[in-house]
Structure 1
Amino acid sequence: MQKFSIGSLSIPDSSAPLIIAGPCLIENRAMAVKTAEELQRISRAEGVGFIFKGSYRKANRTSGSSFSGIGDVEALEILDEIRTTYRMPVVTDVHETRDVALASRYVDVLQIPAFLCRQTELLVAAGESGLAVNIKKGQFMAPEDMALAAAKVAGTGNQRVMLTERGSSFGYHNLVVDFRGLAKMAESGYPVIYDATHSLQLPGAGNGVSGGERQYMMPLARAAVAAGVNGLFFEVHPDPSNALSDAATQVALDEFGTIVKQLLHLYRCVQSLHSL
């Protein structure tokens, strides 16, 4: 499997999963900093590395009236403050090739949203940035085809690529996770991340916003760890019910430490099986 580093983090790591976590969207500085402080506390307590996730702008909204951001530069400067203050790598989404140059100045990882995972020019631009690239699997994509998306990035000479499973469309307003897909994506040779919160979305099912079934987060996350993923992705928020984006699926920040502890224990059990 392709191995690389992001800051001080080694990917993949047999001792702990990579965890990408943070709010869906940078709503304000206070919320983002509070989240980063708690992630740093969990990191020190559990010995696990985090990449802080926050979208500086949301281009994919169910309704045109949905909140999409506080302003690109203001949000990106908050992300830059977090990576500097807390010495934690940060990741954000890019939606167009012109976004890459701007975002690259503030973050360590560029994320390609699921609906854009086939956009060749965007993938190439992200690869050419030299930053690590996390590609979300499209809800419409066969898992084995994600190797072709990764190849577009790798073709620039940038091998620091991760692939993320976030569910597949199953009729209207519903997603399912085919756990065979985790193994199929791993055959690409790139690290595989499981998105434990977006996989629970009910797209467009909430009267103009996406609904979700947060109560199934732990069973599916445990299944993904047992299946051998290299990392996990969570959207977390200090007050999910009042989040301005993805309120139905974000995890409560004050519950996240317990979640990480449980999944880390399971991850290490699974890794120990490889030595038998």
Structure 2
Amino acid sequence: MKINPLSGIKNSDSSNFFLMAGPCAIEGEDMALRIAERIIQITDKYNIPYIFKGSYRKANRSRIDSFSGIGDEKALKILRKVGETFNIPTVTDIHESHEASIAAEFVDVLQIPAFLCRQTNLLIAAAETGKVVNVKKGQFLSAESMRFAVDKVKESGNDQIILTDRGNTFGYQDLIVDFRSIPQMQSFNVPVVMDCTHSLQQPNQATGVTGGKPQLIETIAKAAIAVGADGIFIETHPEPAMAKSDGANMLQLDLLEGLIDKLVRIRSAIL
């Protein structure tokens, strides 16, 4: 695994890809713990390094009445409890510079949302915490352009960087994935992750509720592993239709093990 040493990560000696997975948003303690426990069962079975993902707040919403979170401190404490309960690293996204030091007290990886990947002050603030920084590639950027995000973090004294692709805007309401982006961003000497759920979003719907194509998650994931992605990012939920955020493009939790089994076999075949 090509991430710099990350506290609490298991299976780090594996030749497998690593997994960043969890619910889109932290909805409550019980659900977060149940999702993490199930994913750990799967990742331990297949010897996969695992980072639990959950947003403590959803700042980028289409409508003012959209769910944004259960409260920052409450959600961050749940993330810390997940990490401490299962001895696993956790990741959450931040949106403004002052959030970096706050979130860094609770999680191991700070994620920069795709729309904010060019925000210099945000990248610097995340870098200066000393945490691993996962920068999502903007839907509006080429893979080559992400070298400047990498430079900003490195020049701020932090070389613990992950880049995550989530597709490129195609028209007004769709995204496409250019799999050339994976090796292109790997050329910056950082691990590259494929976000297999957000790359299937259908944003800007007339209803103000983002759509998605979860039936194609397996297609995106298989292709990413086949071209050598270092990691896979998947948002998952026991009942996506009942999720408070991004339910339209999340993977049903019961389907995760079958997908991981296929991805591990693809990984084994190309090594």
TM-score, scaled relative to structure 2: 0.96
Distance verdict in 2 for CA 1:175–1:188, change over 3 Å: same
Distance verdict in 2 for CA 1:10–1:144, change over 3 Å: farther
Contact 2:170/2:176 (8 A) holds in 1? yes
* Alignment pair present for 1:254 and 2:246: no
Q: What is the aligned partner in structure 2 of residue 109 from structure 1?
A: 109
Q: What is the aligned partner in structure 2 of residue 79 from structure 1?
A: 79
Unaligned runs of 5+ in 1: none
Question: Residue type matched to 2:117 in 1?
Answer: C
* Alignment pair present for 1:128 and 2:128: yes
Q: What is the aligned partner in structure 2 of residue 17 from structure 1?
A: 17
Unaligned runs of 5+ in 2: none
Question: Residue type matched to 1:230 in 2?
Answer: D
Matches within 5 A, 1:25-36: 25-36=25-36
Q: Percent identity?
A: 46
1:137-175: CA deviations, max 9, x gaps? 000011111011011011122100000000100010110
TM-score, scaled relative to structure 1: 0.95
Of 108-117 and 253-262, more deviation after overlay is shown by 253-262
Q: What is the aligned partner in structure 1 of residue 171 from structure 2?
A: 171
* Alignment pair present for 1:43 and 2:43: yes
SS in 2 for 1:6: coil
Count of aligned pairs: 271
Contact 2:27/2:69 (8 A) holds in 1? yes
SS in 2 for 1:134: strand
Shift in Å, 1:87: 0.7
Of 258-267 and 232-241, more deviation after overlay is shown by 258-267
**Consecutive aligned runs of 4 or more in structure 1 exceeding 3 Å deviation:** 8-14
Distance verdict in 2 for CA 1:178–1:14, change over 3 Å: farther
1:167-194: CA deviations, max 9, x gaps? 1000101100011111211111111000
Of 126-135 and 184-193, more deviation after overlay is shown by 184-193
Of 45-54 and 204-213, more deviation after overlay is shown by 204-213
Contact 1:2/1:159 (8 A) holds in 2? no
Contact 1:135/1:164 (8 A) holds in 2? yes
Contact 2:10/2:88 (8 A) holds in 1? no
Of 71-80 and 37-46, more deviation after overlay is shown by 37-46
Q: What is the aligned partner in structure 2 of residue 160 from structure 1?
A: 160
Question: Residue type matched to 1:239 in 2?
Answer: E
Question: Residue type matched to 2:92 in 1?
Answer: T
Q: What is the aligned partner in structure 1 of residue 142 from structure 2?
A: 142
1:84-142: CA deviations, max 9, x gaps? 00011000000001111110000000000000000000000000000000000000011
Question: Residue type matched to 2:252 in 1?
Answer: A
Question: Residue type matched to 2:173 in 1?
Answer: H
Q: Using the alignment, how far apart are the partners of 2:68 and 2:181 within structure 1?
A: 31
1:196-229: CA deviations, max 9, x gaps? 0000000122611110011111111111111111
SS in 2 for 1:21: strand
Question: Residue type matched to 2:34 in 1?
Answer: K
Q: What is the aligned partner in structure 2 of residue 267 from structure 1?
A: 267
Q: Using the alignment, how far apart are the partners of 2:171 and 2:11 within structure 1?
A: 35
